[in-house]
Chains A and B, each alone.
Chain A
Amino acid sequence: MNFWWFLLLSIIKIAVVLVILLTAVAYTVLLERKVVGRIQNRWGPSRVGPFGLLQPLADGLKLFLKEDLLPTAVYKPLYILAPVIALACALTSIAVVPFGADIKFKGVDLFQIANVNIGLLVILAVTSVGVYGIALSGWSSNNKYSLLGALRSSAQLVSYELALGLSLVGVVLRAGSLNLRTIVDVQATHGALSWNIFGGFQIVAFFVYLTAAYAETNRTPFDLPEAESELTAGYHTEYSSMKFAMFFMSEYANMITVSCVATLLFLGGWSSPFGHLFPSFGPVIDAILPVFWFVAKVFFFLFVYIWVRGTLPRFRYDQLMGFGWKVLLPVAIANIVVTSLWLGFTRPL
């Protein structure tokens, strides 16, 4: 592997992934507005461009051109740093996500920025640092609504992170590895039948993960940190213009990451639901098709996100905490115990 090739291709990959991710973020917002609109029996954005397709561009432009207010009482260094932390963490974790099959060009993996042995842990680690963005923004704004939102959010994130992490252990046990590619490969043998959610009997873990992930991304029904009726806008009350946009983008980027992880861990990643049922379609299609499957699955999860938002009401705060600690956590632990017993008995060590 030539170092310069490696450098060049890595930079290109990073640029491409960033562009795609940010575009995806923008269009997820549009998708959300459209779908929620349909759920509520109205049209959603439809004026800018055909079907409102240019709406994200217009929104972006608007936010970019707005005046950047800096309230007097804020603690400036952290006030500026907080959205940066939030967005950086949201964008970083995508680096270890493999989007397609392991295809190498000049020794460089084409569909993954960095293939590390502990990919899953990297995602967990980076998202766990993302809490600071929210916590610090709320504190540094020097506003009681922001502070309350931030406190709620940090408590919620720390509580649900446990359930989230533990729900993944069953998958890791089955694969025997923390490498995301290995985890997907284990599920790729018999198409959809060997996906963790079906063949791996991780359906409980799947729902625990999904619930915890909704809480982690501050989405309905766990969106207490930004409950409008109580806290105006929560932790980003005082933010405007691009700083606000950064929080906004980080929330949707986190949604996308969560959907990617759910896809990789439970729905077999880029592997086809039909397994090896169909013959090869030639090298190019064989390389593109997995990416298609991956994107389709991620899209499905994003749709579920929005569907849930359009359907479920918000939890009360004590219900949220009680649910996290008294239901999700024990269930996740029970899942680990059962999975390891099952693996221990069925598989020789």
Chain B
Amino acid sequence: MHLVLFFIFGGFCVAGALNLLLQRHPINSALSLIVVMTSLAVLYLLLGAEFLAAVQVIVYSGAIMVLFTFVIMLLNAQREERTHGSRAAYILGFPGAAALFALLTFIFISNGKSLGFAVLGPDMVSTSQLSSVLFRDLLLPFEVTSVLILIAILGAVALARHHEPHKDESKTQGKER
């Protein structure tokens, strides 16, 4: 049962990610990303992290991606114009990426057993266990993350906000907008 679900949603996840890259319309790409996020939530659930799964759906599918689609809709973004890309990307990039992928796959398959493994099973990590790890053992990283998010907000505001019109600045105003 777990294995079947894993393959189904793992497949969704990969297919969604590929579709995200291949689609030419931004809204289709955004929707594929939602599929990826939601499938990931199911995979978390299979690993016993139910709280994480719910939060994944609420935060990523329900909030962040809504803002993505919101922006796409607001800008009325059209199909993207494909450029041909640089020739170097075609000659070196694709074979290089393919070779790297093949190498990684080969090594993972041949040496995979030295990696640790996670058990797929019905045991759920309770929310209280999770919070005691998060707020006791990993309190410092948690707090650092909160400052990090503060920075992100600060930076977004600083970079996106209009200048207040200023006297000695009338020359440059046009460019800022």
Contacts and interface: CB of A to CB of B under 8 A. Distances in A.
A177 to B, nearest CB: 8
- For B38, B51, B66, which residue has the most chain A Cβ atoms within 10 angstroms? B66
B69 interface: yes
Contact of A128 (B50, B61, B127): B61
Contact of A154 (B38, B61, B70, B126): B70
Contact of A117 (B38, B63, B70, B124): B124
A188 interface: no
Contacts of B31: 78, 132, 136
A158 B50 contact: no
A212 interface: no
Contacts of B63: 128, 158, 161
Contacts of A178: 51, 127
A155 B54 contact: no
A154 B62 contact: no
Contacts of A151: 70, 73-74
A158 B54 CA distance: 17
B97 to A, nearest CB: 30
B73 A124 contact: no
A125 B70 contact: no
B55 interface: yes
Contacts of B62: 124-125, 128-129, 131, 161
Contact of B66 (A118, A121, A135, A177): A135
B33 to A, nearest CB: 12
Given A158-B63, A158-B66, A138 B73 contact: yes
Given A78-B27, A151-B73, A118 B127 contact: yes
A139 interface: yes
Given A78-B27, A138-B73, A154 B127 contact: no
A155 B71 CA distance: 11
B58 A124 contact: yes
A136 B25 CA distance: 14
A155 to B, nearest CB: 7
Interface in A33-72: none
B79 to A, nearest CB: 11
A132 B73 contact: no
Chain B interface size range: 20 to 34
Contact of B73 (A118, A147, A176): A147
Chain A interface size range: 20 to 34
Contacts of B126: 117
Contacts of A113: none
A121 B62 CA distance: 12
Contact of B57 (A129, A139, A158, A177): A129
A157 interface: yes
Interface of A: 78, 116-118, 121-122, 124-126, 128-129, 131-132, 135-136, 138-139, 147, 150-151, 154-155, 157-158, 161, 165, 176-178
28 contacts: A116-B50, A117-B126, A118-B50, A118-B51, A118-B54, A121-B54, A124-B54, A124-B58, A124-B62, A125-B54, A125-B57, A125-B61, A128-B57, A128-B58, A128-B62, A128-B63, A129-B38, A132-B69, A135-B69, A135-B70, A136-B27, A150-B73, A154-B66, A154-B73, A155-B70, A158-B67, A161-B62, A178-B127
Interface of B: 27, 31, 34, 38, 50-51, 54-55, 57-58, 61-63, 66-67, 69-70, 73-74, 124, 126-128
Given A124-B58, A125-B58, 19 more contacts: A117-B50, A118-B50, A118-B54, A121-B58, A122-B54, A125-B57, A125-B62, A126-B57, A129-B57, A132-B66, A135-B73, A136-B69, A154-B66, A154-B69, A154-B73, A155-B70, A157-B66, A158-B66, A176-B128
